[in-house]
Structure 1
Amino acid sequence: MSAAVDLRRRETSALELMDDPECDDDALTKTYGHFALVNRVVSGWHAVYRRRIAPLARASAVPLTILDIGSGGGDVARSLATWAARDGHPVEVTAIDPDERAFAYASALPPLPGVVFERTASRDLVDAGREFDLVVSNHVLHHLEPATLEGLLRDSEHLARRLVIHNDIARARLAYAAYAVATTGTFRGSFIHDDGLLSIRRSYTPRELRREAPEGWRVESQWPFRVLLTFDAARRAVPSA
């Protein structure tokens, strides 16, 4: 790892290549396509599904409704629906992203029962009065500064009837070094290597998230180098808008 990379403080100025509206379309498409593998290896969603989501789906008399905020290439939404269907507990997943490029990519994938994609933002759903049993996101938190993070969490509280799970990277030197080694020379023609390293630099540590999280939110460290920011909506009344 380069000595010039300082992970003691969160990077707040640099933007990921895929967030550039003028970025290369082919590289962006390849990046969306690689997300399924990267998330399967590093995000830990299957364990989260087993511990947190499957019990809710199993106990529900009707399909559990899930909102995936910032769904990107759509792989997390599709995985959750696939796992639940295999367990005999189908869910209804609404995956949203305001980026037209992400929406176009995800919408062009083969249709999967129980998954719909919408080009919209969480605030739009709040304004429309929509609600879901469960609200999730993957690798969204590190894109947000404290003010916008506060807005996402406020929206999440309004949108979720039962539980919120925001899953992201926890910034750490070892995570950065391991990712740099694992992705050097791989995922050619995409943004996976460069943007992934920047994502780690931009991510919050558990301590930083605890400072930013409003009352009622819980920060949980997950192995390896993961953090969950959760809210038990079923135990706390949501304040009026």
Structure 2
Amino acid sequence: MNFSIRSYQQELLDAEHIPYNDLAQNLRELDVINRLLGGHAITIKGISSLTKNLNQPITILDLGSGGGDTLRAIARWARKVNKKLNLIGVDLKPECIDFARKESADFPEISFIQSDYRAIDASQLQPDIIISSLFCHHLQQQQIVELLQWMNENGKMGFVINDLHRHPLAYHSIHLLTMLFSKSYLVKNDAKLSVARGFKLSEWKELLKKAGISNANISWEWAFRHLITVRTHGF
């Protein structure tokens, strides 16, 4: 494995027509991984930095929302800190949307849209903050630049990205953990590959530069993540 460059090997999760039960097992395990390794907390940290000292209701749009686990974690946090949030998840896979809706039945503040994010009329949704958690590593370079530009143009307050740092320790650690504990062939294959498709700090800086974004705050977070927070339009 050459960690100096991103892998573009396709993840199994990106294939079409994955059996629903297999996909559901994958999504449940990803939720566990994100909770135990602090992935959800990283996204919440970014949202908290953008909403500090703000008490009005806020709409958050999650691109590539998968099984909705990130939004449920945000909803739990918001309830604890008495923030009023309208949470909207967007995902291309109808199976992910079906799963997410079932798992989010106790969260009336969460809704889901089955769509490519580029087909959404953001002016109708009026998102204050747009988030992307573990979505960017599924994309090609130019697709990421376009995503960054879309988030920057449509997030009234800003946007937050949480994605993987490509590093050999992260790769081998998640490979070992999933081989020992995972029951999902999707997780066993894709967890380490997701790291190989992740990013180095210099790559994020270059992608943001290509997108014309100069005010991003990038921090390294535990469990080998980068948190990117951008405050837009004067907020």
TM-score, with length taken from structure 2? 0.89
**1:115-171 deviation line (CA, Å, top 9, x unaligned):** 111112322234655421111111011111111111111110122011211100000
Structure 2: distance between partners of 1:55 and 1:211 = 23
Check 1:25–1:47 CA distance in 2 against 1; reply closer, same or farther (3 A cut).
closer
Deviates more, 1:60-69 or 1:162-171: 60-69
Greater relative contact order (CA < 8 Å, ≥ 6 in sequence): 2
Q: Of the candidates 82, 99, 105, which is equivalent to residue 76 of structure 2? A: 82
The residue matched to 1:76 in structure 2 has which SS?
helix
- 2:47 is aligned with 1:53: yes
CA distance in 1, matches of 2:162, 2:184: 27
Q: 1:6 aligns with which of 2, 19, 30?
A: 2
Does the CA-based 8 Å contact 1:169-1:204 persist in structure 2? yes
- Report the TM-score when normalising by structure 1: 0.87
Say which is worse superposed, 32-41 or 182-191, in terms of deviation. Answer: 182-191
Deviations 1:187-223 (A, max 9, x none): 2134112111110111111111111113325233222
Residue in structure 1 matching 2:214, options 196, 213, 216: 216
Q: Is the 8 A contact 2:138 2:197 kept in 1?
A: yes
Which one is further off, 37-46 or 160-169?
A: 37-46
Quick check: 1:74–1:95 contact (8 Å CA) kept in 2?
A: yes
Post-superposition offset of 1:47: 4.5
The one of 89, 93, 98 aligned to 1:95? 89
CA RMSD of aligned residues (A): 2.0
* Displacement after TM superposition at 1:181 (Å): 1.6
Equivalents in 2 of 1:127, 1:57: separation in Å?
Answer: 20
Match of 2:102 among 108, 113, 118: 108
Contact kept in structure 2, 1:167 and 1:227, CA below 8 Å: yes
Distance verdict in 2 for CA 1:190–1:156, change over 3 Å: same
C-alpha separation between the residues in 1 aligned to 2:80 and 2:108?
A: 12
Q: Give 1:67's match in structure 2, choosing from 43, 49, 61.
A: 61
Partner of 1:239: none
Q: Whole-Å Cα distance in 2 between the matches of residues 216 and 55 of structure 1?
A: 18
Please, which runs of 5 or more residues in structure 1 have no aligned partner? 237-241
> Structure 2 CA distance, aligned partners of 1:56 and 1:6?
36
Q: Say whether the 8 Å CA contact 1:167–1:229 is kept in structure 2.
A: yes
Q: 8 Å contact 2:42–2:221 — kept in the other structure? A: no
Residue by residue, what CA displacement relative to the aligned partner does 1:100-125 show, whole Å, maximum 9, x if unpaired?
Answer: 11111111222312111111232223
Q: Equivalent residues in 2 for 1:144-183 (5 A)?
A: 144-183=139-178
Q: 1:34-66 CA deviation, whole Å, 9 max, x = no partner?
A: 1211111235332542x4433655633421111
**Corresponding pairs, count:** 230
Residue 32 in 1 paired to residue 31 in 2? no
> Contact 2:122/2:154 (CA < 8 Å) preserved in 1?
no
Change over 3 Å in CA distance of 1:185–1:224 after alignment to 2: closer
Q: Partners of 1:170 and 1:144 in 2: how far apart?
A: 15
